[in-house]
């Protein structure tokens, strides 16, 4: 506040941003207009304010003209507020004496009429000039950062990040929803384009996670509550009962063998339902931790209570405990990495491809399990009748690049379809047809892999498939599935009879992504993937400080990219941890004792219980450590006794008046 009656000396800087602003707003006119506003000492326009010379221009003027307030009229404060605050600080002025005006995202990029846009820019500059006069010097709060980290999701991204952080000496809590880590990568047989065996490169990493002294691995667990702020999160993790005591079980499989069910009866999730499992099971031989789990929805004990509990008697380590209850763990961490991954598109949503209707229409994930030597068919690609197919059609872009389902390209399907084409050909010698829209193979060695397939006698038909049908028109088509597609290369519709159809399903946000998003207070982009702070410059950061994202939860991506992002997210978290403390915006609220009447209106309104009532003084008081600076109490106080730093009434009112009053 200008209560010390200092003379307000404002410098206004209008950025051209190349043509970004100057092309749609009369920047020179705005600068000339600003120069005439009260308290403005100097007003300049410059090509790129955020560049070094631009920042130096401000610093030099602060000294030369003895400026004590700065208005930078350029892009969004969410992008460059930090830059200009730093420039202000460097010149020896408190950074909160700087106010930004957004005439790029809010004006030049969205408003087409040159005169209107210029008029609007002038209004906004005038508002900021009036506001900045009331701004006060403030200091950032420093709070220590808890060095522990929480990683949610144990797929390849979570595993990589966990190992990086743990190797850097940080305590890592890795929370996984399923009973084992590994995620989607554990399901795959081979990885493109090198055809590395997925298990061979993944399972050693899974064991490293299990054995790392710095990693606490909680599988079959979910985050149930999150409180706190950057550097200081309090997280509640619910460990679901697996009815097997993890510390006692050695994964000997005796319980599975002795289960009252002699054969598997329920769809095996890991094998995509291609095989059956018992109520007590280990998802796959390399599951980590290698601990059995009892599914209480199918186990007779839980359904009727009348089981002889043969599994329990079989276990010589007394590891089975039917009375296990959900266990709540409370942890404190400074940073959070979300690596929750994706889910495959449900092929039943495109009924014209016949998944669920024709038995020999498979999804790509089912075929991944089939070609896997430890899969349900021991590596044989078989139709539902148990025969090796003589011809196979792979349909690309199922649930991708489609107005009716998802508009985005899932980025991995072309490459994994090529991989599956190669593997199917290798396993069965069948004729393989790829139906694609465009072949998208950007990546190291990817195009070369495509080229290799072109020489492997795999057929490529360019065109979107219209339907898969069993409606035959000639005796040769008897017993086959017909793929109807336009071949845009020859300009005609073709019918290809095949024994097996593989649908290359795309990637989509997980059903529970919204829940997780809300819990960690981050945003999603339109399609439902987690939103990064900046698509290019902050791809693993979120708008919530201390929460980072990596892998397919942020958008479709393959294994190399997920691992790279996991590394980036881990590095970002390490920067926070190793700097030891974070600086918080001082936009907290405070109470002016002399004005507070003790009416208690504010007490119940604070979502963080930061306001308490001092009975002795008969006044409310705010605990700054708990206040997050929303300003709700400020607006609720009937006596205007509560103020919010950076957003004081006088600042906002002067800004509003500045917009309208010339």
Partner 1 sequence: MQEEVKNNNIQTAKAWKPKILAIFCNWCTYTASDLAGVSRLKYPATTRVVRIMCSGRLDPQFILTAFSEGADAILIGGCHPGDCHYATGNYKCLRRFHLIQKYMKQMNIEPERLRLEWISASEGKRLAEVIGEMTETITKLGQSKIKQQVANIEK
> Considering only 102-110, 204-212, 395-403, 457-465, which stretch makes contact with partner 1 by CB under 8 A?
102-110
In the region spanning residues 133 to 152, those forming contacts with partner 1, defined by CB under 8 A, are none
Q: What is the pattern of x (binds partner 1, CB under 8 A) and - over residues 181-220?
A: ----------------------------------------
Q: Which is nearer to partner 1, 384 or 609 (CB)?
A: 609
Measured from the CB of residue 274, what is the shortest distance to partner 1 in angstroms? Answer: 37
Measured from the CB of residue 519, what is the shortest distance to partner 1 in angstroms? Answer: 11
Q: Is the CA virtual torsion 257, 262, 265, 271 positive or negative?
A: positive
Of 644, 647, 608, 602, residue with least CA distance to 620: 602
User: Among all chains, which residue has been given the structure tokens 């339902």?
Assistant: 273
Measured from the CB of residue 633, what is the shortest distance to partner 1 in angstroms? Answer: 9
Measured from the CB of residue 661, what is the shortest distance to partner 1 in angstroms? Answer: 6
User: Among all chains, which residue has been given the structure tokens 């009331």?
Assistant: 134
> Considering only 6-14, 147-155, 166-174, 518-526, which stretch makes contact with partner 1 by CB under 8 A?
518-526
Binding of partner 1 by 526 (CB under 8 A): yes
d(CA 13, CA 99): 11
Measured from the CB of residue 12, what is the shortest distance to partner 1 in angstroms? Answer: 17
Binding of partner 1 by 22 (CB under 8 A): no
Angle between helices 114-132 and 649-660 (to 10 degrees): 150
User: Which pair of tokens denotes residue 566?
Assistant: 């996991």
User: Residue 104 in 3-state DSSP?
Assistant: helix
Binding of partner 1 by 649 (CB under 8 A): yes
Q: Which is nearer to partner 1, 539 or 629 (CB)?
A: 629
DSSP code at position 440: -
d(CA 556, CA 442): 14
Binding of partner 1 by 456 (CB under 8 A): no
> Considering only 31-39, 417-425, 470-478, 627-635, which stretch makes contact with partner 1 by CB under 8 A?
627-635
CB 597 within 8 A of CB 573: no
Measured from the CB of residue 47, what is the shortest distance to partner 1 in angstroms? Answer: 20
User: Among all chains, which residue has been given the structure tokens 């209480």?
Assistant: 296
Q: Which is nearer to partner 1, 107 or 485 (CB)?
A: 107
> Considering only 114-122, 268-276, 314-322, 350-358, which stretch makes contact with partner 1 by CB under 8 A?
114-122
In the region spanning residues 538 to 577, those forming contacts with partner 1, defined by CB under 8 A, are 543-544
> Considering only 72-80, 451-459, 484-492, 493-501, which stretch makes contact with partner 1 by CB under 8 A?
72-80
Beta bridge partners of 238: 222, 328
Q: Which of 48, 109, 358, 590 binds partner 1 (CB under 8 A)?
A: 109
Q: Which is nearer to partner 1, 244 or 634 (CB)?
A: 634
Measured from the CB of residue 570, what is the shortest distance to partner 1 in angstroms? Answer: 25
The length of the chain in residues reads: 662
Q: Which is nearer to partner 1, 358 or 647 (CB)?
A: 647
Q: Which is nearer to partner 1, 514 or 612 (CB)?
A: 514
Measured from the CB of residue 634, what is the shortest distance to partner 1 in angstroms? Answer: 6
d(CA 11, CA 22): 20
Q: Which is nearer to partner 1, 63 or 82 (CB)?
A: 82
E-state strands within 103-246:
141-144, 149-152, 172-175, 190-191, 196-197, 215-218, 221-229, 232-239
Residues in CB range of 22: below 8 A, 6 or more apart: 16
* DSSP states of 355-373: BTTBTTEEEHHHHHHHHST
Measured from the CB of residue 23, what is the shortest distance to partner 1 in angstroms? Answer: 12
Angle between helices 156-167 and 559-578 (to 10 degrees): 30
User: Residue 446 in 3-state DSSP?
Assistant: helix
Size of the site for partner 1 (CB under 8 A): 53
Binding of partner 1 by 81 (CB under 8 A): no
Cα distances from 592 to residues 2, 291, 595, 649, in angstroms, run 17, 59, 6, 13
Q: Which of 94, 264, 632, 650 binds partner 1 (CB under 8 A)?
A: 632
In the region spanning residues 219 to 278, those forming contacts with partner 1, defined by CB under 8 A, are none
Q: Which of 44, 212, 349, 628 binds partner 1 (CB under 8 A)?
A: 628
Q: Which is nearer to partner 1, 353 or 548 (CB)?
A: 548
| Opening angle at CA 613, ends 612 and 614, nearest 5 | 120
* DSSP states of 265-284: -EE-TTTTTSSEE-SEE-SS
User: Which pair of tokens denotes residue 233?
Assistant: 């999160």
> Considering only 29-37, 201-209, 475-483, 517-525, which stretch makes contact with partner 1 by CB under 8 A?
517-525
Per the rule left: phi > 0, alpha: psi between -120 and 50, beta: everything else, 449 is alpha
Cα distances from 527 to residues 277, 443, 537, in angstroms, run 35, 24, 21
Q: Which is nearer to partner 1, 66 or 521 (CB)?
A: 521
User: Among all chains, which residue has been given the structure tokens 């705010």?
Assistant: 622
Q: Which is nearer to partner 1, 247 or 403 (CB)?
A: 403
Q: Which is nearer to partner 1, 78 or 599 (CB)?
A: 78
d(CA 239, CA 218): 7
Contacts of 296-305 spanning 24+ positions with Cβ under 8 A: 296/241, 296/243, 298/265, 298/266, 299/243, 300/260
Largest CA distance in the chain: 97
Binding of partner 1 by 127 (CB under 8 A): yes
Measured from the CB of residue 538, what is the shortest distance to partner 1 in angstroms? Answer: 13
Measured from the CB of residue 536, what is the shortest distance to partner 1 in angstroms? Answer: 11
Q: Which is nearer to partner 1, 77 or 560 (CB)?
A: 77
Q: Which of 182, 283, 334, 631 binds partner 1 (CB under 8 A)?
A: 631
Residues in CB range of 392: below 8 A, 6 or more apart: 381, 424, 428, 430, 431, 432, 433, 498, 499, 500, 501, 502
Binding of partner 1 by 638 (CB under 8 A): no
Q: What is the pattern of x (binds partner 1, CB under 8 A) and - over residues 581-620?
A: ------x-----------------x-xx------------
Q: Which is nearer to partner 1, 208 or 601 (CB)?
A: 601
Cα distances from 278 to residues 128, 298, 369, 471, 504, in angstroms, run 68, 8, 19, 38, 29
Binding of partner 1 by 645 (CB under 8 A): no
Measured from the CB of residue 531, what is the shortest distance to partner 1 in angstroms? Answer: 6
Binding of partner 1 by 119 (CB under 8 A): yes
Q: Which is nearer to partner 1, 266 or 543 (CB)?
A: 543
**Contacts with partner 1, residue ranges (CB under 8 A):** 76-79, 102, 104-107, 109-113, 116-117, 119-120, 123-124, 127, 518, 521, 523-526, 531, 543-544, 587, 605, 607-608, 628-632, 634-636, 644, 647, 649, 652-653, 655-657, 659-661
């Amino acid at each position: 506040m200008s209560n010390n009656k200092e003379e307000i000396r404002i410098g206004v800087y209008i950025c051209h941003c190349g043509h970004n602003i100057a092309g749609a707003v009369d920047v020179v006119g705005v600068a000339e207009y600003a120069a005439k506003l009260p308290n403005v000492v100097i007003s300049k326009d410059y090509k790129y304010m955020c560049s070094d010379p631009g920042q130096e221009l401000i610093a030099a003027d602060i000294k030369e003209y003895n400026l004590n307030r700065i208005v930078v009229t350029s892009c969004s404060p969410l992008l460059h507020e930090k830059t200009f605050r730093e420039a202000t600080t460097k010149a020896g002025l408190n950074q909160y004496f700087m106010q930004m005006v957004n005439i790029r995202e809010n004006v030049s990029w969205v408003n087409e009429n040159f005169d209107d846009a210029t008029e609007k820019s002038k209004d906004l500059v005038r508002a900021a000039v009036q506001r900045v006069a009331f701004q006060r010097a403030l200091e950032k709060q420093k709070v220590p950062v808890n060095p522990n980290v929480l990683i949610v999701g144990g797929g390849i991204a979570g595993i990589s990040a966990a190992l990086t952080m743990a190797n850097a000496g940080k305590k890592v809590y890795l929370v996984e929803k399923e009973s084992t880590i590994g995620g989607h990568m554990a399901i795959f047989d081979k990885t493109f384009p090198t055809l590395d065996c997925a298990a061979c490169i993944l399972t050693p990493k899974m064991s490293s996670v299990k054995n790392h002294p710095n990693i606490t691995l909680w599988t079959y667990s979910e985050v149930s509550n999150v409180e706190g702020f950057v550097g200081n999160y309090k997280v509640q993790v619910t460990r679901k009962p697996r009815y097997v005591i993890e510390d006692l079980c050695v994964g000997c499989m005796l319980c599975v063998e002795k289960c009252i069910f002699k054969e598997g009866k329920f769809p095996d999730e890991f094998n995509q339902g291609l095989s059956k499992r018992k109520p007590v099971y280990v998802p796959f031989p390399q599951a980590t931790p290698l601990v059995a789990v009892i599914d209480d929805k199918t186990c007779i004990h839980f359904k009727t209570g009348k089981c002889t509990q043969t599994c329990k008697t079989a276990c010589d380590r007394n590891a089975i405990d039917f009375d296990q209850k959900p266990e709540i763990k409370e942890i404190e961490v400074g940073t959070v990495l979300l690596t929750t991954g994706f889910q495959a598109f449900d092929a039943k949503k495109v009924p014209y491809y016949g998944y669920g209707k024709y038995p020999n229409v498979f999804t790509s994930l089912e075929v991944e399990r089939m070609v896997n030597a430890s899969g349900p068919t021991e590596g044989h690609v078989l139709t539902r009748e148990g025969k090796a197919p003589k011809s196979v059609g792979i349909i690309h872009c199922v649930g991708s690049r489609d107005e009716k389902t998802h508009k985005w390209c899932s980025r991995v399907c072309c490459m994994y379809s090529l991989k599956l084409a190669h593997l199917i050909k290798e396993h069965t010698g069948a004729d393989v047809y790829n139906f694609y829209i465009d072949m998208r193979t950007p990546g190291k060695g990817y195009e070369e892999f495509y080229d290799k397939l072109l020489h492997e006698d795999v057929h490529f038909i360019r065109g979107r498939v219209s339907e898969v049908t069993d409606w035959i028109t000639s005796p040769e088509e008897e017993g086959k599935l017909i793929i109807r597609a336009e071949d845009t290369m020859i300009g005609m519709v073709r019918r290809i009879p095949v024994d097996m159809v593989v649908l290359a399903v795309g990637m989509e946000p997980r059903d529970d992504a919204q829940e997780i998003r809300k819990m960690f207070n981050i945003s999603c982009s339109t399609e439902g993937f987690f939103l990064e702070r900046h698509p290019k410059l902050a791809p693993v950061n979120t708008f919530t400080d201390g929460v980072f994202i990596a892998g397919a939860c942020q958008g479709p991506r393959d294994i190399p990219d997920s691992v790279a992002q996991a590394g980036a997210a881990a590095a970002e978290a390490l920067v926070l941890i190793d700097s030891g403390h974070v600086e918080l915006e001082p936009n907290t609220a405070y109470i002016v004792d002399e004005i507070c009447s003790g009416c208690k209106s504010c007490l119940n309104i604070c979502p963080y219980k930061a306001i308490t009532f001092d009975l002795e003084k008969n006044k409310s008081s705010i605990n700054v450590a708990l206040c997050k600076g929303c300003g709700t109490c400020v607006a609720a106080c009937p006596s205007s006794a509560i103020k919010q730093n950076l957003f004081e009434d006088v600042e906002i009112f002067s800004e509003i008046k500045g917009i309208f009053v010339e």
